[in-house]
Every structure is written in C-alpha cells, then in structure tokens.
Structure 1
Amino acid sequence: MKKYIALIFFFGLVITTSLAQKVEIKATNKALNDILIELRDRYNYQFSYDTDLLASYNVSINKSFSNKESAIIYLLRKFPLNYEISNNVYIIYPEEKIFQYRILGQILDKENLEPLPFSHITINDHPMATDELGNFSFTSTTDSTFRILASHLGYFIHDTIVSYDKAHKFLLTSASTDLEEITVTDKIVQTFIKESNQAGNLKLNHKIAGFLPTNNDNSVFELLRLQPGILAAGEQKDYLIIWGSYEGESQVLFDDITLWGLKNYYEDIGAVNPLVVKNIEVLKGGFDARYGERVGGIVHITGKDGNKVKPSINLALNNITASGSYEQPIGKKSSLLLAFRHTYYPLFKDDQIKYATSNVNTDEIEGTIPEYVDLDVTPNYRFRDANLKFSTKWNNGDQLNISIMAGEDRYSYDISNELLAASRKHNFEGSYQNGGSLKYSKVWKSGNSSSLSVSRSELDRNTTEQTVIERIRFTEMNVRRDDRSYNNICEYSTKFQNRFVLNEDQIIETGLQYTNDAVDLKEDSLGINILHLDSKLDKIGGYFQNILNISNGVTIKAGFQVNYPINLEKLYWEPRISMSFKITDELSFNGAWGLYKQFISKSSVLSKSGKYRYIWVGADEETVPVLESVHNIIGGSYHKNGFTFSVEAYHKRTDGHTRYYRWRNQGNISLGKSKSVGLDFFAKKDFGEHTFWVSYSLSKTTENFDYFREEGEYLRALHDQRHEIKTAGLLALKPFYLSANYIYGSGFPIYSGYNNINSEPDYQRLDAALIYKFSHKKIKSEIGILLHNVMNKENLTYESFERVPLSQINSISVYTESVPSSIRLYFKITI
C-alpha cells in the first residue's frame, strides 16, 4: 500500500512541476522589456538587461511554452540578442557584430579591356579562380586589406594590395605584346599551359599557338592535339578523341554554342577561327557538376569580346585561305567584333591514283590485264565561315554578350576509269553549321554572381554517293548505285547559373537548365526511302555543388547533376566529387570520381563493305539506351623554377554504345560497352625565353558488342592506340621565332575480318616553323614559313577510306592520307 501511495505522490509531483513550468504569453505589439516584466511577476523569472535596448523591440504573440527557457528562446529569435543563465538569472545582451570585409573585382587585358576568363587569383593566401567574365569576390572576417596575386596564361603576374568594400579592375599585361616603353622582357613562352590543381583539367594560352608550327586556320585544334590525353594520330577532322572516348562523346563549346563537328576535308582548316579565340579550357574527364551532356571530355572555348579601347583590324593571308577580323568600340562600354575565313581557290587538283590490278579478281575479265590501272580523280572543295559578337557592360558590372557563328564545308570528287572498266563514281559531302548565344551576367552587391544564357546550334550534313559501271573490259554491264543521306541535329538550350560566396572557405554553385534536341536522319537509295529516323529529346536538369576549403591547401568539391528527360519520364542522378591537396607551393595532388550520362549520341553504322560512318540519335531506352560512364582519376604535379612535371591516371567504363550493322540482308542494332584505361606524363622546361616540352600517353580502349561471337569478349576499339609521344620546342630569337613539334603514335588496329588485325601502321609527323615579327608605329606584322610533315610520312587518317567498285564483286579501297609534305606561307598584319 505504501508503494502505491509513493508512486501516486511521485506522479503528482511531476504533473504539478510540469504545470508550474508551463508559460503562457499574450501580447499585441508590446515592447519586449514590458513582456519580460510580466514574466518576472507571473512566473518568478529573474532578468538582467538593458531596458532602453529591449524597449526598441516590439512583439506580438499568443503562445504557450513547456518551460521558461523555451519561452525566452522564442522571444529573442528574431532580434540581434543573445542570453546566458547565471545563478538562475537570464542575462540578455546584444549579439556581437561580426564585421565582414568584402572585395569585388574583375581581371582584364590592359591593352583592349578584354575580360580574362578563369584567371587564377590568390587573395591573402587563399587560391581561387574567376568566372567566364573574369569576375571574382572574396569575404574575410579578419582582414580589411587584401593582397592580390592575379595571373592568366600568357600574361605577367599582377601583385598588389587593395582595400575592402570597393570594386576593383585589375589590368594584366600580355606577355606576347611588344612592349616598347618599358624594359620588361617579353617572356612569351613561359606559361602557355596551366595544369590546375583539379583532376583532368588544363588551361591553354592560345596566344602561344601563333608561335608554333600550326597556322592561322587551325591553330586551336593543332594546339589541342599536342596535349597529353588528346589523340593526335589519325588527325581527326571534326571531333576529338579524349581519354578513349568515342566519336560524339566529347563536346566542344564556343561561347556556349555546341560545335557538332564541321567536317573539314582539308584538315588544315579548323572549325573555330583562331582570330576570335581568347581562352581554352580542357576537361579531359572527372569534371564537376556544372558540366554535363557528355560522357567523354569537354573543350570550353571562350571567344573575344572585342576591343573596347580603339578600333582594331587583323588580316591574314596564306596559300589556302584569306581571313580577317575587325573590332569596333561602341561608346566606352560596348564593342562589336566581326570575323571571316574563305578558301579563295580550289585546294585540290585533279589527280590520278595508280592501283595494282593484281588485287582485283580477274576471273571474269578476258584479255591482257595491265599491271596498274589509273583512276582519274577530280575534286572540288570550298570552306567559309563567319563570326559576329556584340558585348556591352554597365556601370554596375552587369554584362551582355551576343555571339553568332556560321560555317560551310563542301567537298566532292569524281573518280573515273576507262581502261579496265568504264566506271564513274561521284561523292559529295556538305556540312553546314550555325549557332548563336545570348548571355547576361550579373554580379550582386553581396559579391555573389548569376548568369542567364540562351543558345541555339544546328548542323546539317548531306552526302551523295553515285556509282555507274557500264562495262568491264569488253563485257557490257549496267550497274548503277545512287545513295543519299541527310542528317540534321538542332539544339536549343537555356541555362541559369548562380555562385554564392558564403565565406572565405565555402562557395555554393547551383544551376537550372532546359535542353531541346532534335535529330532527323533520312537515307535514300535510287530514289527509294530506306531509312527515316526522327527523334526529339526535351530535358530539364539542374546541378548543385559545394566547394569547401577545409584547411590550407585542401579543397573538396562535391555535388551532383540531376536530369529529367520528358519522353523517358525518369530522373537520372549523376553524383560527382573531387579533391585537391596542395602539399607545398611546388607539389600538389588531386583526384576525382563521377557518374556521367549522355542522352544524345553518335551511333556507328557498319556497312556491308566494312566502312564505318556515324549518325546522331536520341536515347529512347528501348533501341537506343542512355550512355553512362564512370570516371576514376588520380594525379599530381610539380612546378619549380620553370620546370613542370605532371602525371595523371584514369579508368573509365562506358555502357550504352549502339552500332547498326547488316547481317543476312537485315538491319540490326547492337548494344555495346567499353573500357578505357591510361596514364599521361607531361614535362616542360623553360630556359629563359625558350621552352621545350614532352608528353607520353599509355592507353588501352577495348569494346564488347552483343554481336561478337563470344559473350563477354572484349576486342580492341578502332581508335585504340597503345603509345603516343609528343614533343615540341620554341626558340625566341627575337625578332625571329623557331619552333618544331614531333608526334609518334604506335597506330590503330586495321581489321581484315572478325578479330583479325591485318596491320597496325604507326603514325609519325614532324612540323617546323620560322616566324619573323616586325612593327612600324602602330602596325604589327609577321611573316611565317610553316613546314608540314617534313619527313613526308604517309600516315592514314582514322577511319577515312572509300571503297571504289570495279564490278559487282570487285572493289578497291582508296585511303585518305594525312597532310603530305608541304610548305605553308602566310602574312599577318594587325592595325
């Protein structure tokens, strides 16, 4: 009985105590100090506070609380007040104000006020990078003055000290500008490449390309192919193979415009006019959540805004094309840039190809057969393109860029023979690419930034292949073939991006994107439609990532992309994470892991003759799956006294390749997967104003398709190459500049049958250049002699060959060789 009485007493005490602690507050627009007086009288509170301070805060409330402290917490939550309890006394005091010192800035070219994108900034020993427009912001709670070290590839480092709460413009001097008024040495070649402490990322100084044995038509891609991890052998004309990626799996962006691949049959003309290029950033793999759309690599090219200081003219003429650009300031804040290129005479001459007739089946041919037969080849070629860009900037730092581009590449040839066979062959391929983008960027007063961009890009490709055979020797025949193909891809894209600088150690980046892709493919044979694919893909997506400096030299970047293709009605998540460790000022390491998906891709088409071609298709998860790839990257670099050494290893697995092939007169779609693994080494040394570098890539790419004879069997991919060595050097003997580069590749496999590699010819090419620079008053000029393929190696381009029928059962393969030994002369003038 006593136990029950004690238990009832205990629960009664608990209930009584709980009821005693319950606090009710009712007030309408009453001063906070008056409310606390009522609480003191009703609930036996004890307070210590500044009456005048609390009288300035009014409260409206009708709420009950379970205990005294929760009531105080609720009352103070909206005001800059804090409290602590000492001997049951609530001491209320104002929060200590934390001062934040903020700096805003932009990095610009001193000569023409061009914004310098993705420049490197060190602020009070905190490394960071600017955005596409050279903008940056930084916040500190300890320092009101900031030491700034600003650098950009090809520019002298700017070192200064500035104060807070002010927007600053930092003007960098180009190292490749002739400086007549000061005595600073013109160190053009010291920093032509920057391997940032981010896995798979490097930045290229396009200014250096003008001193290499490239040319003013294709210096962008010639510079890219000299970098480790980007395949040089095979001389791809309209796309890049980066770390084993297949055609269409890497993306080239120019001012946010997707370049689908303006195929240039004359491989010395690139799809981007070098006269309008300002910055090149290469993401070989493992890139962060801001980038999507591809499972391979990304090349981000930023175009010039145009000179805002004075009108500028660039004219270049060589024995292939005429090109030029004009930059016109509009007021003090705007500029207009125009540029063009055009082939001014037929590049290819009529020629003959000698073919050994011993390779032809002659059982049905009577009479004496000559040892060789001449095929008369008549080619016709034209290339032209144009760029237009308008840029303007407001006093508050907002900027608007409008960029438009268009290009055309038309190539055709006729092959005929009257000796062994009365046959004619006509081939035509025309590529037409156009696009435009509008981008508005804003820097907020808080130092955060936002941008809105809208872009459109389109590629039309038409091909015609006609063959007529009237007789073979004395046998009358009537064989006719007329195949035509039309492939169009068009993309509309809208991106809204934000960058929030929370503090000196944390940055948040977010974005939303809408993409519409449409693919149209038509194929006719003798006027009969044999294939028509029409697919559309609407996709809504976004990204989020957190950049965190957890200690000096250690940075973690973690985030994800999420995409929702409307036709697939499914969410696709792509997590990414990367880390960088700066051990010392000279030594650093990095690593990255990421999942990547691609919703439009290029499918390979294998014809009965064994010829490969590629068509754009959209994923439907039925016949064409979504491409998916996992990237694993680790690397490190060392820099000291003009010497740079880096090593990077990667492993990639990609699922969802598609290949169309014919089997027993039926079309089939095969699904495949691939594995790529490799190791890149790079070393560069500067000797005063001279520089030399070498890179070596060890790689392996294998593939498995479900039509392979053995399940799970992996064969070498068509672009698999085990070894590639690239070396280059530049001597600055002003006003003369001597340069050379040499590339060796161990070669691609050439299959003569299933899993039967017939040959693997290696690739070798040596180029050299001699450039003379001179100036008169404000006119700068240069004359160059470019020696291409000095050793005249007969290299085969990747997958470029034609099969020319001599009868219904006989055909020959005409391989397209790379650039033969040739001399390119050019003259360039800048006013």
Structure 2
Amino acid sequence: MNKFILLLFITLSSVQIVAQEEIEVNCTDKPLNELLIEWRELYNMQFSFDDELLSQFLITKLESYASADLAISDILKGLPLSYQKNNNTYIVFKKKIIVHASTYLLSGKVIEKGTGEPLPFSHIEVNEYQTITDIKGTFSNTFNDSVFYVKTSHLGYYKLDTILIGTHFHSIELTPSFVGLPEIKVTNNIVEKSAQVGEKSGLIKLNHQIAEYLPGNGDNSVFNLLKLQPGVTASGENPNDLILWGSSEGTSIVQFDGFTIWGLKNLNDNISAVNPYMVKSIDINKGGYDATYSDFIGGIVDIYGRNGNRLKPSFHFFINNQTINSMLELPIGKKSSLVTAYRQNYYDLLSSNDVHIQEVNNIDRFNWDYNRPDYTFKDLNIKYTFQGDNGDLFYISALGGGDDLKINAQRDSTYNRPNGNLSIREKLDVSEKTNQVGASAFYGKTFSSAYSSSLKLSYSFYDNDYSVYSYRTIRDNERLRYSRDATNEIQEIKGDWQNLFQINQNHDITAGLSFIQNNTMLKEQLNNATNIDLISHASRVVFYAQDEVNLMKDLRLTAGIRVNYPTHIKNTNIDPRIALSYKPGLFKFNASWGFYHQFIVRTSIMDEDNRIRYAWYVGGYNNVPILKSQHAVLSAAYTTNNFLFSLDTYYKENSNLTRYIQFSQASYISDGQSKSYGLDVYVKKDFNGHSIWTSYSLGRTEEWYDYYTDETYRRAPQDQTHEFKIAGLLNLGSIHASASYIYGSGFPLFTDNIKYEYDEQDYNRVDISLIYQFKSQHFGGEIGLSILNLLNTDNVKYNSFQLLPIDEFNTVLVNEEAMKFTPLLHLKIKF
C-alpha cells in the first residue's frame, strides 16, 4: 500500500512539472500537425486531431509560453480551428461556422442606347424573378444571391441577357429595334416590335416608333397607331374623343406626361393634339385598371414623352403637303437635356369639298355657296429633364396649342313680285376655336432597395369657343336673323405623391395621396340673350393604396382601394378594385373587377331640333351627378418570340349619365344609364423583320334616359356591333411598306332622338404607305408617300353633323366630310 501511494505521488509530481514547464516555439512554415507532434515528444503532451486538416496550416513563430494552454491558444489564434481539453488531452477540431443569410441589393436603370433616354415600365427578369421598372426607368430589389442573371426587354427594343453583380448601380442599355441605319445589323436577338397585350386586363402597351412606318405617319401618327388596336374604335374618325370599349363622350381621357389632354384630335383629322416627335410610348387601359389610375369610368390613354438626347445635339425636321414639324434636342451638361418641338400648318388645310351645307326644312330650295374654310393650327412643346446617376429623375414638360376654323356661306335668291323682283341674300358665319395648355413637373427618387417615392404636379386648361351667325339682306338692308355664342372652359390643377414599398421579391405595396382642383364654365347666348350660364368649382382629396403579392410562383393578386372625398359635396366615394394574373408557361390569364367614379362630366346638351352638343362640367353641381361605373374584365393571351394571340371580354355598367334637354319653353336635366359588353380578338405575327396583325371587336353599348317614351334600352350613338382591322409592315432594309384596312358595321345616325329613328352605314377604309430611308455622313432621313382612303370610299364621320338654325323656321345641316382620297408626301431629315 505504501509503495502504491509513493508511485502515485511521483506521477502527479511529474505531471505538475510538465504543466509548469515553459513551451518554446521556434519554427518557420511548419505544418501545424508536425508542430503538435513535436510538442507531444518534447513536453509529454497528449493531442487528438485530424492530421490531414492540420497539415494545411503553416506556422511561423518565435515565442516562449509559460503554459501549454497559452501556447496552443496563441498558435490557433486566427485559424478556423478550436480546441477542447479533456483528461489532459488537447482535442483540436474545425470551428463550426454559422452562416447568416445575406441579402444583396440589385439596382439600376434601363435606358436607350445612344441617347440615354430612360425606358419606363421595362420588363426585367432576375434569377427567374420578374419585375418592372418605374416611370423613371429604375429598378431596385434585394436578393439572396450576389450574382444576378438578368433579362431585360422593352417594347420596340432588342432584348438583352446579361450577368450583373450587386453593390453597384447599373445602367442597362437597350438598342432600338428600328434604328433607321441599314448598315447596322443586329443578329441573334428577339425583337419586341409594336405592341404588348395580355400583361394586365384591358392593357395594351404600344411602341410609338412603329407608327413611323404606318400610313399617315406624320402629324397624326398617335391616332393612326391607336385606331389599329383592338377595342379602340376607328370607324367614324371621331375628331374629338376616343371610344374605348363603347365609352361615351368624355368618359375616356388622354394624359401626356401626367397632364390631361381634353381633346385628342383637333378639327383637322390629319393632326393629332400630341406632337409625334414628343412621344416615347403609349399605354391604353380600356377598362378594369387598378387603383393607381385616375378617376374616369371609360378608358385611360397614358402617353409618355421623350426626355431628350443627353449625349449629343440633334435636330429633326418634317414637312408634308399640309404641315411642318421640327424638334431640337440639346444636352445640358452630362445629366440634363432640353427638347422643344413646334408644328403649324402653312396653308388652309380644308378645301370647300370638306364641308357641305344644305337646308333641312326645304331641301329643294337654292343651294348654298361657300368659300374655302379658313383653318389654322399650331402647337409648341418644351421639356427639360435631369437624370441623376442614382436613377433620380426630374422633368418639366409643357404644351401649348390650338386651332381655329371659320366657315362662311351665302346664297342669293330672287322672288317675283307684282311691283318687281325681290333679291335676297342670306349669309351664314360659323366659327369654332379651341385652345389646349398643359404643364407638369415630376421628381422621382429611389431611397433604398425597399422604398421609392415620386411627386408630380400638373396643370391643364382647355377652352372651346363656338359661334353661329345668320344674316339676311333685303334691298341692301342687312338684318341679323339668328345668333348663338357658346363658350366652354375646363381647368385642372393636380398634385400626386406616390410611394412604393418593396416588402420582398414577391410583395409590393403602393400608397399615394392626391389633390385635384377642377373649374368649369359653360356660357351660351341665344340671339344676344343669355341662355346658359353655369360655373362650377370643385376640389377633392384622393387616397389610394394597392397590395401586389405572388400567391404562388405564377399567380399574382393585386388588391387596391381608391377613396375620393369631394369637398363641395362632402361625401366619401370608395372604389375597391381587384385583379388576378396567372401565367403558366407561354399563357397568361387575367381577371379584374372594380368600381369607378368620374367627377368631371362631359354632359350632352340636346335641343328641340335634336341637335346634340357636349360640354365639360363638374359633377355634383346643378343636379349634374357624379358618374359611377362597374367594370368586369376577363382576358387570356398566348405569346411566343414572334407570335401573339389575345382575347379580352368585358362588361361595364354606367349610371348617373346626364343629358341637358334645352327646349324653347323649358329646360331640364335628364338622368340616364348605360351598359357595354363585348370581346376583342387580337393576333400578331412577326417574321424576318416583317409584322402583320389583325383584330376583331364585337360589342354592344346601350343607354336609357328618363325622357324615353318606354323603359327599353336603346343603342347609344357610339355603339358599333362589328369592327375588323388588319395591318402589315414589310421591312426591306432601307425601304418600308405598310398597309391597313378597317371595316366597321356603322353607328346609328339618329334623325330623331325622341322617336328613336336612325340610319346606319358601313365604314370601309384602306391606307397604304411607302418609305425610303437614306443616310449620309452628316445626316439621315426619309422620303415617304402615304395614301389615305385609297379606294375613296364614301364614309360617314361620327358626330359630324351639325344642325344650325338660321332663323326660327329654317335649319341648315353642316356636314364635315370623312377622309377622302388623300395623298400625303413627306420629307424627314435628322441632323
């Protein structure tokens, strides 16, 4: 027993001596496993480790340590290794690294190559996640990967596939598919050329560049492009308004750079109210649009203006046998640009054949002789844009323009009297003048990957002055027989603050606040006595919010609400709206439903001679109610690289329609309601640089007013059952040929609104175009010929007839002719 105790004491003493022995380290690039083995031999230390793992670490040290614990702790410092002491054995092992999920920011902007023009609402696919750039052309989101496989596309530009990394703000440049330079050849790219249909219910996105190759591409290319789309009525050549899915007068609106264009077309059908040089892209919302859009119960057309070339100055000049048009782009520094465009006619565009006057009450009497109508038109656009390197966008855009039409007619008649012949001269003077002014200021900023904001201020003003004077001269004594002077003005001031919150890759929230002020004035004098004098002022506050979330990989839900509070009636109007989109493979299915209110009313005015005119007024005043509507839309689309098929079906119910009945003995407001339903079919095929598309619209629009003699709905003036369109573009390098054909089954042309009597005439029109492009060292351009209504078909123009009384017994009919055979030769030059 004593021997055992002595042995135990000696052993413990030796262990204590080793533990307290100083550890010397003097090595250069020695593998760690070898160092520990050396310690085991010199200092009687015990180790357990992975020999292959520790051989990877080379140790260089010249140090002394008071204990083994201090030595091994210092040697392992900075290495992905740790140790644990167990019964005097040092166990060395690899550290457990806890990996925290990192997020990486991908942000940037999509711009046009060569000009730096931002491309709003471009489609971007990042690692199979899809998003859309905002109005500034910017995008921003966070991902769990630092390497991004990005596919970018924009209507009218070549698609781009690339790889990006995070932490940088990227500029993605897309090349236009129509560059106008035959010597530039782009291969192995897919071209998205003219239209995109099916992304949302009732939405058509248009590349305005395609309009440069369509018939009548000059001053009216905006309308020429719009009218070839499904659901946009082309028959009747409506000069003042767009008919989208059977929408009545004034229920569809056009916006340019955020301010309202109160009449898309001027009095001359070949000139649109928006200069085509200023247009970048067009969105058509035919119905079922979401809570972020303005308050109109028909459709909304958003036209986005170009921002100007920031890289080099350029000058564009256009002239045809009707008007001249020019645009100047000036870079200001590296981040700003100024663009101006000016148009005007240089001779009277209308001929005496464009207007016909005949007497209605006694048509066999003497015909009227009239001079060539006096017509003038001009407009001016100015836009300044600043684009920051971080995607910030600021612009100020302004438009001013108008037109003036004067018609003078006269006739001479002779009556046999017993005391001699009596000579009588009758004279008719008709005048209509319109002015459109608009301006907007916009600033948009992306603050972080999860939040962006924009502020937009806009102003628009429109007025229409209309007059009719009838004179009779007997024995050199001129007497005023009849006079009517009418003035209608509308003014809008609007501010909109919109915010986008990106919760994650699959969830976005949009919220905004708007303030809108509208002022209208409608005055009319009949025979120098005031007949109508209506002035209205209204303001309203609007709050809207929208939640977009991916319920599944291919299923997206959009739910929103729009709340209007008109201060003049102090009644809150709440409009819920919801949409679903499902995209399995190459198919896309959409459904949307919602309520809509409209606070600016284009009310119809009808007198006892069945003359119907239209005037803007604020709902909620003088028994004119606020318009209400309910939309339901279902759509489907199938899209491949060069083929598109889409189908839209819709149903709309409108209430609180008004018609001002103006009789000589009494006047009153008639209430009405309407319903529209139908479908659009659209097919488009691209092949070898060529395009062909066709569309068919089947629809019905019916209305009812309380002055009807029964409870039956009747066809609305804008109702048309069938409309068929086909258009094609042929690209032969420097030569472009195009053609379009439109057939419409016709509108009901009412001869008596009370008795529901009308006529109906088909609409047929063929247009063709041929363009040759040229380029020299210093400039480029094109020469083109368009022929409108090639077959000279005798069509009827929608709402073209004006019944004008010349006294208390007689009325004349002024008929503005639809487009006749019209050749347009143009020259376009770009420096």
Q: Which TM-score bucket, shorter chain as reference?
A: 0.7 to 0.9
Question: Which residue does 2:709 correspond to in 1?
Answer: 709
Question: Which residue does 2:728 correspond to in 1?
Answer: 729
Question: Which residue does 1:219 correspond to in 2?
Answer: 221
SS in structure 1 at match of 2:215? coil
Question: Which residue does 2:488 correspond to in 1?
Answer: 487
The AA in structure 2 aligned to 1:339 is A
**Structure 1 residue 662: Cα displacement:** 2.7
Query: 1 CA distance for matches of 2:192 and 2:736?
Result: 14
**Structure 1 residue 813: Cα displacement:** 2.0
The AA in structure 2 aligned to 1:811 is T
Give matches, 1:764-783, under 5 Å: 764-783=764-783
Aligned residues of 2:108 and 2:390 also touching (Cα < 8 A):
no
Query: 1 CA distance for matches of 2:353 and 2:236?
Result: 23
Query: Rg bigger for which structure?
Result: 2
Question: Which residue does 1:497 correspond to in 2?
Answer: 498
Question: Which residue does 1:466 correspond to in 2?
Answer: 469
Query: 1 CA distance for matches of 2:723 and 2:657?
Result: 25
Question: Which residue does 2:628 correspond to in 1?
Answer: 628
Query: 2 CA distance for matches of 1:252 and 1:609?
Result: 32
The AA in structure 2 aligned to 1:732 is N
Going from structure 1 to structure 2, the CA distance change for 1:360 and 1:568 (only over 3 Å counts) comes to closer
The Cα offsets for residues 517-572 of structure 1, whole Å up to 9 and x where unpaired, read as 00011111233222111101110011100110121211111011001001111111
Aligned residues of 1:677 and 1:699 also touching (Cα < 8 A):
yes
The AA in structure 1 aligned to 2:758 is N
Aligned residues of 1:354 and 1:373 also touching (Cα < 8 A):
no
- Worse overlay, 749-758 or 206-215: 749-758
SS in structure 2 at match of 1:296? coil
Query: 1 CA distance for matches of 2:747 and 2:552?
Result: 46
Question: Which residue does 2:535 correspond to in 1?
Answer: 534
Query: 1 CA distance for matches of 2:823 and 2:639?
Result: 37
Query: 2 CA distance for matches of 1:486 and 1:762?
Result: 34
Aligned residues of 1:105 and 1:135 also touching (Cα < 8 A):
yes
The AA in structure 1 aligned to 2:705 is F
Give matches, 1:32-71, under 5 Å: none
The AA in structure 2 aligned to 1:103 is L
Aligned residues of 1:175 and 1:186 also touching (Cα < 8 A):
no
The Cα offsets for residues 417-460 of structure 1, whole Å up to 9 and x where unpaired, read as 11376211111111111111111110113342100111110011
State the TM-score, normalized to the length of structure 1: 0.84
**Structure 1 residue 769: Cα displacement:** 0.4
Query: 2 CA distance for matches of 1:391 and 1:812?
Result: 51
Q: Which residue of the other structure, out of 310, 334, 340, is the alignment partner of 1:332?
A: 334
Question: Which residue does 2:690 correspond to in 1?
Answer: 690
Query: 1 CA distance for matches of 2:538 and 2:372?
Result: 41
Aligned residues of 2:104 and 2:146 also touching (Cα < 8 A):
yes
The AA in structure 1 aligned to 2:772 is Y
Query: 2 CA distance for matches of 1:689 and 1:209?
Result: 15
Question: Which residue does 1:752 correspond to in 2?
Answer: 751
Q: Which residue of the other structure, out of 426, 435, 439, is the alignment partner of 1:436?
A: 439
**Structure 1 residue 607: Cα displacement:** 2.1
Question: Which residue does 1:84 correspond to in 2?
Answer: none
Question: Which residue does 2:250 correspond to in 1?
Answer: 248
The Cα offsets for residues 649-690 of structure 1, whole Å up to 9 and x where unpaired, read as 000000011101134621111011000001000011112111
Aligned residues of 1:517 and 1:537 also touching (Cα < 8 A):
yes
Instruction: Indicate yes or no: 2:700 matched with 1:700.
Output: yes
**Structure 1 residue 292: Cα displacement:** 2.2
Aligned residues of 2:106 and 2:167 also touching (Cα < 8 A):
yes
Going from structure 1 to structure 2, the CA distance change for 1:720 and 1:755 (only over 3 Å counts) comes to farther
Question: Which residue does 1:662 correspond to in 2?
Answer: 662
Query: 2 CA distance for matches of 1:735 and 1:187?
Result: 20
The Cα offsets for residues 287-324 of structure 1, whole Å up to 9 and x where unpaired, read as 11101221111111110111000001100011111110
**Structure 1 residue 393: Cα displacement:** 2.3
Q: Which residue of the other structure, out of 207, 210, 216, is the alignment partner of 1:208?
A: 210
Query: 2 CA distance for matches of 1:755 and 1:578?
Result: 42
The AA in structure 1 aligned to 2:467 is T
Query: 1 CA distance for matches of 2:190 and 2:374?
Result: 40
The Cα offsets for residues 720-745 of structure 1, whole Å up to 9 and x where unpaired, read as 00000011111111211110001000
Query: 2 CA distance for matches of 1:352 and 1:469?
Result: 25
Instruction: Indicate yes or no: 2:402 matched with 1:400.
Output: no
Query: 2 CA distance for matches of 1:95 and 1:483?
Result: 85
SS in structure 1 at match of 2:448? coil
Give matches, 1:612-651, under 5 Å: 612-620=612-620, 623-651=623-651
Query: 2 CA distance for matches of 1:360 and 1:559?
Result: 55
**Structure 1 residue 340: Cα displacement:** 0.4
Going from structure 1 to structure 2, the CA distance change for 1:178 and 1:484 (only over 3 Å counts) comes to closer
Question: Which residue does 1:386 correspond to in 2?
Answer: 380
Aligned residues of 1:351 and 1:377 also touching (Cα < 8 A):
no
- Worse overlay, 176-185 or 248-257: 176-185
Aligned pair count? 725
Give matches, 1:16-415, under 5 Å: 97-141=100-144, 143-178=145-180, 183-185=185-187, 191-261=193-263, 263-350=265-352, 361=362, 373-415=367-409
Aligned residues of 1:696 and 1:724 also touching (Cα < 8 A):
yes
Aligned residues of 1:491 and 1:518 also touching (Cα < 8 A):
yes
Aligned residues of 2:545 and 2:562 also touching (Cα < 8 A):
yes
Query: 2 CA distance for matches of 1:354 and 1:494?
Result: 45
Query: 2 CA distance for matches of 1:512 and 1:189?
Result: 38
Question: Which residue does 1:738 correspond to in 2?
Answer: 737
Question: Which residue does 1:54 correspond to in 2?
Answer: none
Query: 2 CA distance for matches of 1:333 and 1:354?
Result: 54
**Structure 1 residue 339: Cα displacement:** 0.5
The Cα offsets for residues 446-484 of structure 1, whole Å up to 9 and x where unpaired, read as 34210011111001111111112346xx99995611110
The Cα offsets for residues 142-172 of structure 1, whole Å up to 9 and x where unpaired, read as x221111100111100101111222111000
Going from structure 1 to structure 2, the CA distance change for 1:325 and 1:721 (only over 3 Å counts) comes to same
**Structure 1 residue 716: Cα displacement:** 0.5
The AA in structure 1 aligned to 2:790 is V
**Structure 1 residue 117: Cα displacement:** 1.0
The Cα offsets for residues 372-392 of structure 1, whole Å up to 9 and x where unpaired, read as 634324410000000000011
**Structure 1 residue 127: Cα displacement:** 1.8
The AA in structure 2 aligned to 1:327 is E
SS in structure 2 at match of 1:103? strand
Query: 2 CA distance for matches of 1:810 and 1:796?
Result: 24
- Worse overlay, 231-240 or 416-425: 416-425
The Cα offsets for residues 595-635 of structure 1, whole Å up to 9 and x where unpaired, read as 00011110001122222111111111760111110000001
SS in structure 2 at match of 1:400? strand
Query: 2 CA distance for matches of 1:322 and 1:261?
Result: 21
Query: 2 CA distance for matches of 1:296 and 1:395?
Result: 39
The AA in structure 2 aligned to 1:128 is T
Question: Which residue does 1:583 correspond to in 2?
Answer: 584
SS in structure 2 at match of 1:113? coil
Identity of aligned residues (%): 38
SS in structure 2 at match of 1:491? strand
Query: 1 CA distance for matches of 2:793 and 2:219?
Result: 22
Question: Over the residues paired in the alignment, what is the CA RMSD in angstroms?
Answer: 2.3
Query: 1 CA distance for matches of 2:309 and 2:492?
Result: 30
The AA in structure 1 aligned to 2:229 is Q
Going from structure 1 to structure 2, the CA distance change for 1:180 and 1:680 (only over 3 Å counts) comes to closer
The Cα offsets for residues 75-109 of structure 1, whole Å up to 9 and x where unpaired, read as xxxxxxxxxxxxxxxxxxx9985422221111000
Query: 1 CA distance for matches of 2:165 and 2:747?
Result: 58
Aligned residues of 1:469 and 1:807 also touching (Cα < 8 A):
no
Aligned residues of 2:633 and 2:648 also touching (Cα < 8 A):
yes
**Structure 1 residue 333: Cα displacement:** 0.4
Question: Which residue does 1:455 correspond to in 2?
Answer: 458
**Structure 1 residue 181: Cα displacement:** 6.8
Aligned residues of 1:745 and 1:764 also touching (Cα < 8 A):
yes
Aligned residues of 1:154 and 1:174 also touching (Cα < 8 A):
yes
SS in structure 1 at match of 2:210? helix
**Structure 1 residue 789: Cα displacement:** 0.5
Query: 2 CA distance for matches of 1:125 and 1:696?
Result: 34
Structure 1: gaps of 5 or more residues: 1-93, 363-368
State the TM-score, normalized to the length of structure 2: 0.84
**Structure 1 residue 251: Cα displacement:** 1.2
**Structure 1 residue 185: Cα displacement:** 4.9
